[in-house]
Amino acid sequence: MSLTDLEQHVYAYYVAGDAAQFSAAPRFYPYGELTLILADKIQVATRKFGRKATAKANSVAAALLDRLIAAGAYSTKTNDFGGSMHQFQADAYKAFLKQEQESDPIILKAKDGGPDYWDQAFSALTAS
Protein backbone atom coordinates (compact mmCIF):
# COMPACT_ATOMS: atom_id res chain seq x y z
CA MET A 1 0.00 0.00 0.00
CA SER A 2 1.34 3.36 -1.00
CA LEU A 3 1.13 6.18 1.53
CA THR A 4 1.64 9.88 0.90
CA ASP A 5 4.43 11.71 2.70
CA LEU A 6 1.98 13.05 5.29
CA GLU A 7 0.48 9.58 5.80
CA GLN A 8 3.95 8.09 6.22
CA HIS A 9 4.69 10.64 8.94
CA VAL A 10 1.37 9.94 10.69
CA TYR A 11 2.19 6.21 10.57
CA ALA A 12 5.72 6.76 11.88
CA TYR A 13 4.57 9.10 14.65
CA TYR A 14 2.00 6.62 15.91
CA VAL A 15 4.32 3.60 15.68
CA ALA A 16 7.15 5.52 17.38
CA GLY A 17 5.04 6.48 20.37
CA ASP A 18 1.43 5.77 21.22
CA ALA A 19 1.29 2.37 19.53
CA ALA A 20 3.24 0.93 22.46
CA GLN A 21 0.21 1.45 24.72
CA PHE A 22 -2.19 -0.36 22.40
CA SER A 23 -3.72 -3.65 23.48
CA ALA A 24 -6.84 -5.55 22.50
CA ALA A 25 -9.03 -8.11 24.18
CA PRO A 26 -8.16 -11.68 23.15
CA ARG A 27 -11.15 -12.20 20.88
CA PHE A 28 -11.60 -12.20 17.13
CA TYR A 29 -12.45 -8.93 15.37
CA PRO A 30 -13.56 -8.24 11.80
CA TYR A 31 -11.13 -6.23 9.68
CA GLY A 32 -13.42 -3.19 9.49
CA GLU A 33 -13.78 -2.94 13.26
CA LEU A 34 -10.02 -3.14 13.75
CA THR A 35 -9.51 -0.41 11.19
CA LEU A 36 -11.93 1.85 13.06
CA ILE A 37 -10.26 1.11 16.41
CA LEU A 38 -6.80 1.89 15.05
CA ALA A 39 -8.02 4.99 13.21
CA ASP A 40 -9.46 6.34 16.46
CA LYS A 41 -6.16 5.74 18.28
CA ILE A 42 -4.21 7.42 15.47
CA GLN A 43 -6.56 10.43 15.42
CA VAL A 44 -6.12 10.94 19.16
CA ALA A 45 -2.35 10.60 18.89
CA THR A 46 -2.01 13.09 16.03
CA ARG A 47 -4.68 15.65 16.96
CA LYS A 48 -2.05 18.14 18.15
CA PHE A 49 -0.82 18.39 14.54
CA GLY A 50 -4.17 19.57 13.22
CA ARG A 51 -7.00 18.38 11.02
CA LYS A 52 -4.88 17.57 7.97
CA ALA A 53 -2.88 15.03 9.98
CA THR A 54 -5.87 13.49 11.74
CA ALA A 55 -7.75 13.26 8.44
CA LYS A 56 -5.20 10.66 7.31
CA ALA A 57 -6.01 8.29 10.18
CA ASN A 58 -8.26 5.94 8.18
CA SER A 59 -5.77 5.25 5.40
CA VAL A 60 -2.91 4.94 7.88
CA ALA A 61 -4.96 2.57 10.06
CA ALA A 62 -5.65 0.31 7.07
CA ALA A 63 -1.96 0.29 6.11
CA LEU A 64 -0.90 -0.41 9.70
CA LEU A 65 -3.44 -3.21 10.08
CA ASP A 66 -2.30 -4.82 6.83
CA ARG A 67 1.29 -4.75 8.09
CA LEU A 68 0.28 -6.10 11.49
CA ILE A 69 -1.58 -9.01 9.90
CA ALA A 70 1.35 -9.75 7.58
CA ALA A 71 3.73 -9.73 10.57
CA GLY A 72 1.53 -12.08 12.61
CA ALA A 73 0.57 -9.46 15.19
CA TYR A 74 -3.01 -10.40 14.33
CA SER A 75 -3.81 -14.01 13.59
CA THR A 76 -6.40 -14.70 10.91
CA LYS A 77 -9.27 -17.16 11.02
CA THR A 78 -11.76 -17.72 8.23
CA ASN A 79 -15.27 -18.03 9.60
CA ASP A 80 -18.12 -20.22 8.35
CA PHE A 81 -19.58 -17.38 6.29
CA GLY A 82 -16.47 -16.82 4.16
CA GLY A 83 -15.15 -13.78 6.02
CA SER A 84 -11.97 -13.41 8.02
CA MET A 85 -11.58 -12.52 11.66
CA HIS A 86 -8.40 -11.39 13.38
CA GLN A 87 -7.09 -11.88 16.92
CA PHE A 88 -4.46 -9.71 18.64
CA GLN A 89 -1.12 -11.41 19.35
CA ALA A 90 0.69 -9.35 22.00
CA ASP A 91 4.19 -10.80 21.63
CA ALA A 92 4.17 -10.53 17.84
CA TYR A 93 2.81 -6.99 18.15
CA LYS A 94 5.68 -5.95 20.43
CA ALA A 95 8.20 -7.54 18.06
CA PHE A 96 6.60 -5.71 15.11
CA LEU A 97 6.83 -2.35 16.89
CA LYS A 98 10.45 -2.94 17.85
CA GLN A 99 11.38 -3.86 14.28
CA GLU A 100 9.54 -0.84 12.85
CA GLN A 101 11.10 1.54 15.39
CA GLU A 102 14.56 0.27 14.48
CA SER A 103 14.10 0.33 10.69
CA ASP A 104 11.53 2.96 9.66
CA PRO A 105 13.51 5.83 8.07
CA ILE A 106 11.17 8.54 9.40
CA ILE A 107 11.35 7.23 12.96
CA LEU A 108 15.14 7.04 12.72
CA LYS A 109 15.26 10.59 11.38
CA ALA A 110 13.03 11.73 14.24
CA LYS A 111 15.36 10.14 16.80
CA ASP A 112 18.28 12.05 15.30
CA GLY A 113 16.24 15.24 14.81
CA GLY A 114 15.64 15.97 18.45
CA PRO A 115 12.52 16.89 20.40
CA ASP A 116 11.20 19.38 17.83
CA TYR A 117 11.37 17.04 14.84
CA TRP A 118 7.72 15.98 14.80
CA ASP A 119 6.36 19.52 15.26
CA GLN A 120 8.56 20.84 12.47
CA ALA A 121 7.82 17.95 10.12
CA PHE A 122 4.05 18.15 10.55
CA SER A 123 4.12 21.92 10.32
CA ALA A 124 5.86 21.70 6.95
CA LEU A 125 3.65 18.87 5.68
CA THR A 126 0.37 20.55 6.62
CA ALA A 127 1.31 24.14 5.71
CA SER A 128 -0.52 24.35 2.40
Tell me the pLDDT tens digit for each residue of 27-85. 999 999 999 999 999 999 999 999 999 999 999 999 999 999 999 999 999 988 878 99
Residue range 107-125: mean pLDDT, rounded:
95
Give me the pLDDT at residue 1, please: 55
Torsion of CA 90, 67, 47, 119, to 10 degrees: 110
Q: In terms of Cα–Cα distance, which of 63, 9, 92, 51 is closest to 43?
A: 51
pTM of the model: 0.94
Per-residue pLDDT for 128 more than 80? no
Give me the pLDDT at residue 79, please: 80
Residue pair 42/7 in contact (Cβ under 8 Å)? The answer is no
Domain boundaries, the chain: 5-125
Q: How far apart are CA 35 and CA 101, in angstroms?
A: 21
Q: How far apart are CA 12 and CA 17, in angstroms?
A: 9
Give me the pLDDT at residue 80, please: 82
- Exposed / middle / buried, residue 20 (Cβ in 10 Å: 0-12, 13-18, 19+): middle
Tens of pLDDT along 89-114?
999 999 999 999 999 999 999 999 98
